[in-house]
Amino acid sequence: MSRQSRRHFTTEFKEQAVARLSEPGATQSCVARELGVSASQLKSWRLELAAAGSAEAIRRQQAEAAELAELRRENRLKEEVEVMRKASAPVGSLEPVA
């Protein structure tokens, strides 16, 4: 008896297979049968892609939070510099308060 080698599928193939699940009337078992894969394999691809999307969303959210923190830090430093500049200005050059 010869042992079958494992089949490897590209990420593009997996994405297209999972996308077919969203077509009207498409079931996991029908799509799997048409593609020649098991229904459980198709399900695991769907879960993998969902997890990858979630991970990407989390990375994007963390990057945005880091950028926001950096911008806030820069604003705070600019405000401090402005206060220090006004505090070190000669007394006669202060503008009158209305």
pLDDT band for 63, please (50, 70, 90 cuts). Answer: very high
User: Based on the number of CB atoms within 10 Å of its own CB, is 42 exposed (0-12), middle (13-18) or buried (19 or more)?
Assistant: buried
Which residue is it, tokens 């500049």? 85
| Domain parsing of the chain, residue ranges | 11-86
**Residue 70, amino acid:** E
- Is the sign of the CA dihedral 14, 16, 22, 25 positive or negative? negative
- The string of pLDDT tens digits covering residues 64-96 is 999 999 999 999 999 999 999 988 887 665 566
Helix (H) or strand (E) holding 47: helix 39-87
Q: Which residues contact 3 (CB under 8 A, 6 or more apart)?
A: none
- The string of pLDDT tens digits covering residues 34-57 is 999 999 999 999 998 888 888 888
CATH of 11-86, one of 1.20.5, 1.10.10, 1.10.8, 3.90.1070: 1.10.10
Q: What is the pLDDT of residue 1?
A: 59
Mean pLDDT calculated for residue range 27-40: 93
